A and B are shown apart, each in its own frame.
Chain A
Amino acid sequence: MNWQALVLTAKLASSTSAILMVVGIPVALWVAFSRRRWKFLAESIVALPLVLPPTVLGFYLLVAFGSNSPLGRQYARITGSTLAFTFSGLLLASVLYSLPFAVQPIVSGFRAVDQKLLAAARTLGASKLKIYCQIVLPLAWPSLLTGLVLGFAHTVGEFGVVLMVGGNIPGVTRTLSIDIYDQVQDLNYGSANTTALALLTFSYILLCIIYKLNQKVLLWGTR
Chain B
Amino acid sequence: MFVPKTALLALALVLGASAQELKIAAAADLSAVMQKIGPAFEKQTGVHPSFSFGSSGNFFAEIRNGAPFDVFLSADRSYAETLDGAGLTDQGSKVYARGKLVAWTRNGSAVQLSPDNLKFLTSSAVNKVAIANPEHAPYGRAAVAAMVHFKVYDQVKPKLVLGENISQTAQFAQSGNADVGMIALALALSDALQKSGHYVLVPLDSYPPLEQSGVVLRASKNKQAAHRFLDFLYSPAAQKLLHDYGFETPQR
Chain A residues near B (Cβ < 8 Å): 62-63, 65-69, 72, 81-82, 84-85, 163-164, 167-169, 182, 184-187
Secondary structure at the B interface, as helix, strand, loop or mixed, is: mixed
Give the distance to chain B from A196, nearest Cβ to Cβ, in Å: 15
Give the distance to chain A from B165, nearest Cβ to Cβ, in Å: 10
In the complex, B99 has a CB within 8 A of chain A: no
Given the known A-B contacts A62-B171, A85-B128, A186-B57, are A168 and B176 also in contact in the complex, defined by CB atoms under 8 Å? no
Which stretch of B37-45, B129-137, B200-208, B226-234 is in the interface?
Answer: B129-137
Interface string of B171-186 (1 = CB under 8 A from A): 1100111100000000
Instruction: Decide: A169 and B177 in contact? CB cutoff 8 A.
Output: no
For this complex, 26 residue pairs linking A to B, each with C-beta atoms less than 8 Å apart, are: A62-B172, A62-B175, A63-B175, A65-B175, A65-B177, A67-B176, A67-B177, A69-B176, A72-B177, A82-B128, A82-B176, A84-B172, A84-B175, A84-B177, A85-B128, A85-B178, A163-B164, A167-B177, A167-B178, A168-B162, A168-B164, A182-B136, A185-B58, A185-B135, A187-B61, A187-B64
Give the distance to chain B from A59, nearest Cβ to Cβ, in Å: 9
A92 to B61: give the CA distance in the assembly, Å. 32
Closest to B173 in A: A66
A164 to B163: give the CA distance in the assembly, Å. 8
Q: Which of B130, B162, B172, B176 is A68 in contact with, Cβ under 8 Å?
A: B176
Give the distance to chain A from B111, nearest Cβ to Cβ, in Å: 12
In the complex, B145 has a CB within 8 A of chain A: no
Instruction: Decide: B161 and A169 in contact? CB cutoff 8 A.
Output: yes
In the complex, B127 has a CB within 8 A of chain A: yes
Closest to A169 in B: B161
In the complex, B160 has a CB within 8 A of chain A: yes
Given the known A-B contacts A167-B161, A186-B136, are A66 and B61 also in contact in the complex, defined by CB atoms under 8 Å? no
Instruction: Decide: A182 and B175 in contact? CB cutoff 8 A.
Output: no
Given the known A-B contacts A167-B161, A184-B61, are A66 and B130 also in contact in the complex, defined by CB atoms under 8 Å? no
Closest to B109 in A: A67
Using Cβ atoms and an 8 Å threshold, which residues of chain A touch B133?
168, 182
Chain B residues near A (Cβ < 8 Å): 55, 57-58, 61, 64, 106, 127-128, 130, 133, 135-136, 160-164, 168, 171-172, 175-178
Q: Which of A82, A163, A187 is B177 in contact with, Cβ under 8 Å?
A: A82
Give the distance to chain B from A185, nearest Cβ to Cβ, in Å: 5
A148 to B95: give the CA distance in the assembly, Å. 54
Give the distance to chain B from A208, nearest Cβ to Cβ, in Å: 32
Using Cβ atoms and an 8 Å threshold, which residues of chain B touch A163?
164
Instruction: Decide: B175 and A68 in contact? CB cutoff 8 A.
Output: yes
A222 to B106: give the CA distance in the assembly, Å. 65
Given the known A-B contacts A169-B160, A185-B135, are A66 and B176 also in contact in the complex, defined by CB atoms under 8 Å? yes
Given the known A-B contacts A167-B163, A182-B135, A185-B135, are A85 and B177 also in contact in the complex, defined by CB atoms under 8 Å? yes
Using Cβ atoms and an 8 Å threshold, which residues of chain B touch A187?
61, 64
Q: Which of A66, A81, A186 is B175 in contact with, Cβ under 8 Å?
A: A66
Instruction: Decide: A169 and B175 in contact? CB cutoff 8 A.
Output: no
Using Cβ atoms and an 8 Å threshold, which residues of chain B touch A81?
127
Query: What would 12 more interface pairs be, CB under 8 Å, given A167-B172, A185-B58?
Result: A62-B171, A62-B177, A67-B106, A81-B127, A84-B175, A85-B128, A164-B168, A169-B161, A185-B57, A185-B61, A185-B136, A186-B135
Using Cβ atoms and an 8 Å threshold, which residues of chain A touch B55?
185
Using Cβ atoms and an 8 Å threshold, which residues of chain B touch A67?
106, 176-177
Closest to A186 in B: B135
Closest to A82 in B: B177
Closest to B58 in A: A185
Using Cβ atoms and an 8 Å threshold, which residues of chain A touch B172?
62, 84-85, 167
Instruction: Decide: B171 and A85 in contact? CB cutoff 8 A.
Output: no
